Chains A and B, each alone.
Chain A
Amino acid sequence: DTEVTQTPKHLVMGMTNKKSLKCEQHMGHRAMYWYKQKAKKPPELMFVYSYEKLSINESVPSRFSPECPNSSLLNLHLHALQPEDSALYLCASSQEGGAAYEQYFGPGTRLTVT
């Protein structure tokens, strides 16, 4: 199984809503990542979890709150978002954050903030 799953596929939310994005992998990977991708732009790293601990936060606004309940799951909690936060949110995982292993990406959640 080399699959990273993400739910939901699409999400529309108002600026006052609270929602969560979910990511799951069963490859035994110990590093998990959140990326944000705007149209026709490359993915931009947001957060890295290594062994269930937050190791990198790329100065992401606090309206985005990551959580890693266990080694297979990664959540991204959203609150008070802005329309410019509309993007494709990609989750990825790799065998280990510190080694040169490729990252496997999920299909993404397309988020629209109205």
Chain B
Amino acid sequence: GQNIDQPTEMTATEGAIVQINCTYQTSGFNGLFWYQQHAGEAPTFLSYNVLDGLEEKGRFSSFLSRSKGYSYLLLKELQMKDSASYLCAVRDGPGGGNKLTFGTGTQLKVEL
């Protein structure tokens, strides 16, 4: 099974940097995904990590440490439109059917 933890809520200021953490304990691991979901909308893909280290994509970066069962999503130069829920999702290994299990999500509020 999968156990994925994220903070429930975070608040940050426009223009600032915020780091959203995700810890996981899983029976199998075949990659970690970050998705953004605005209220009432579908999740949209942000980043993917399968090896340890940092993946950078514009204002968004994601880090993974497999030995620690830990990832974070870093958002730079925050904008009001970044207010959304950020979902960490772990893909199970082939033995688990490569399923994607989502964490509970972190609701980020960006303020002026």
Contacts and interface: CB of A to CB of B under 8 A. Distances in A.
Contact of A45 (B45, B94, B99, B104): B99
Contacts of B101: 45
Interface in B26-54: 30-31, 33, 41-45, 48, 50
Interface in A29-80: 33, 41-45, 48, 55-56
A103 interface: yes
A53 to B, nearest CB: 13
Interface residues of A, number: 22
B70 to A, nearest CB: 19
Contacts of B44: 105
Contacts of A56: 97, 99
Contact of B104 (A41, A90, A99, A104): A41
Given A41-B104, A43-B43, A105-B42, A100 B97 contact: no
Contacts of A42: 87, 89, 102-105
Contact of A98 (B45, B89, B98): B98
A48 B91 contact: no
Looking at chain B, what size class is its interface with the partner chain?
20 to 34
B54 to A, nearest CB: 17
B45 A104 contact: yes
Nearest to B107: A40
B18 to A, nearest CB: 20
27 contacts: A4-B42, A41-B104, A42-B89, A42-B102, A42-B103, A43-B43, A43-B102, A44-B102, A45-B99, A55-B97, A56-B99, A98-B98, A99-B98, A100-B30, A100-B31, A100-B48, A100-B91, A102-B33, A102-B48, A103-B33, A103-B45, A103-B100, A105-B43, A106-B42, A107-B41, A108-B41, A108-B42
Given A42-B102, A45-B99, A97-B98, 18 more contacts: A4-B42, A41-B104, A42-B89, A42-B104, A43-B43, A43-B102, A45-B100, A45-B101, A48-B99, A55-B97, A90-B42, A90-B43, A100-B48, A102-B48, A103-B45, A105-B44, A108-B41, A108-B42
